[in-house]
Amino acid sequence: MMTLTLSRSISLLAVSCALLVSACQRSEEPATSAPANAAAAPTVASSGKASKRVFVSNYVGNTLSVIEGDPEMETKTIGGFESPHGIAIQPTGDRLVAVAEATAYGVKLVDPRSLEIVGSITDITSGPQDLEFSPDGKTLYVLGTLDLSLNFVDMETRKVVGEKLRFEKKPRRIKVDPSNGRLYILLVALGDGVGAEVVEVDPATRKVGRRAPVDKFPNGLGFGNNRSLLVSSSFDNSTLTVVDAKTMKVLKTIDSETGIGLAVHPSKPIAYSMVSFDNQIDIVDLDSGETIKQVSAGQWPTHASFDRSGRYLYIPHEESDSVAKLDTETNEVVMKIAVGQEPIEVAVWEP
């Protein structure tokens, strides 16, 4: 691993601050949206309905990029955001795209068909960075990183309802089990980082249930392998903690390089660890604990998302202003797509 000038014991607060710094001059060639001889990508399918779209939050650019077409490329940039971070796709109903705005202390809602901003949620007031919808799409769960809270947003009124759930530790990432609606939240212990954990939350009672300890200063949470595994990546100790999602018991700890972001394949025991400082993605077999492959596709990979089938993983590279499309069957990058300034997270919308 490359030598860093900062200690590996740097806190997550310092890591977050590093994300605010504009990217330095790029040393690699810029990503291309498509081969030079390719025709321009259509914005709608031949049926007249919107095709699959990949939404990318460009943190410093304050925009949302839209990737679509064949070949896939950025076809639209939506402005009007303030420090966009996490993105969530409403699973039913209007199928809106929710974008957390860290410095606006709220959430903007985008229509994935018209690609217009159609509403805002303005009463979060706690520096939202990650968010998820309930399986029925009626509730939006938003993590407040400043007041250590979980906010419950009624999508009909678009207001925070009821009391926030407060934590003693910093909530970093959230996952929702679509089969039962349970929430899993990654909590980062302040101070020396010891005591980090993944907690199970019942949204009906708004109470924390079972807990699973994970390694210090985690900065990624994956949920996959047919909803059987929760995996946390420790930034400080370079490990992956594998948790049985049904029992909330720690199954194993795997030595693995880590960084900012982690994804677990929806149907396979395979983790994709974003080794941000080394500009690579480590692909890890969670059964054997072995690293299958290391992939390099740009500078500073961060929070990635799968398409519905799990065949492709879209990985934003913050300091390359690009998104890499990785084929999970071959573990090869099949495309690099130019997007806005400092992309930090992606989400895939499919009609």
Q: What is the mean pLDDT of residues 68-76?
A: 97
User: Do 215 and 230 meet the contact criterion of CB atoms below 8 Å apart?
Assistant: no
Characterize the bridge pairing of strands 53-58 and 305-306. Answer: unpaired
**Residue 181, C-beta contacts closer than 8 angstroms, at least 6 positions apart:** 134, 135, 136, 203
Please give the Cα distance from 190 to 193 (Å, whole number): 5
Characterize the bridge pairing of strands 280-285 and 291-295. Answer: antiparallel
DSSP conformation class of 12 = H
Q: What is the mean pLDDT of residues 46-65?
A: 84
For 151-177, the pLDDT digits (tens) are 999 999 999 999 999 999 999 999 999
For 119-146, the pLDDT digits (tens) are 999 998 888 999 999 999 999 999 999 9
Can you give the pLDDT at residue 125? Answer: 83
Q: Is there a cis peptide before residue 218, judged by omega within 30 degrees of 0?
A: no
What's this model's pTM, rounded to 2 decimal places? 0.88
Sign of CA dihedral 337, 270, 331, 257: positive
What are 41's strand-pairing partners?
A: none
For 206-222, the pLDDT digits (tens) are 999 999 999 999 999 99
Q: Is the pLDDT of residue 18 over 80?
A: no
Please give the Cα distance from 161 to 167 (Å, whole number): 18
Indicate the SS3 state at residue 16: helix
User: Do 143 and 149 meet the contact criterion of CB atoms below 8 Å apart?
Assistant: yes
Question: What pLDDT band is residue 57 in, cutting at 50, 70 and 90?
Answer: very high
Nearest of 203, 168, 208 to residue 188 by alpha carbon: 168
For 178-237, the pLDDT digits (tens) are 999 999 999 999 898 899 999 999 999 999 999 999 999 999 999 999 999 999 999 989
User: Do 170 and 187 meet the contact criterion of CB atoms below 8 Å apart?
Assistant: yes
Please give the Cα distance from 275 to 187 (Å, whole number): 20
Indicate the SS3 state at residue 18: helix
Please give the Cα distance from 244 to 259 (Å, whole number): 22
Query: Which CB contacts under 8 angstroms, 24+ apart, belong to 96-100?
Result: 96/155, 97/55, 97/64, 97/347, 97/349, 98/131, 98/133, 98/140, 99/55, 99/57, 99/64, 100/128, 100/129, 100/130, 100/131, 100/142
Please give the Cα distance from 244 to 269 (Å, whole number): 12
Cα–Cα distances in angstroms (integers) from residue 159 to residues 125, 152, 166, 213, in the given order? 12, 8, 18, 33
Characterize the bridge pairing of strands 229-234 and 239-244. Answer: antiparallel
Please give the Cα distance from 274 to 297 (Å, whole number): 11
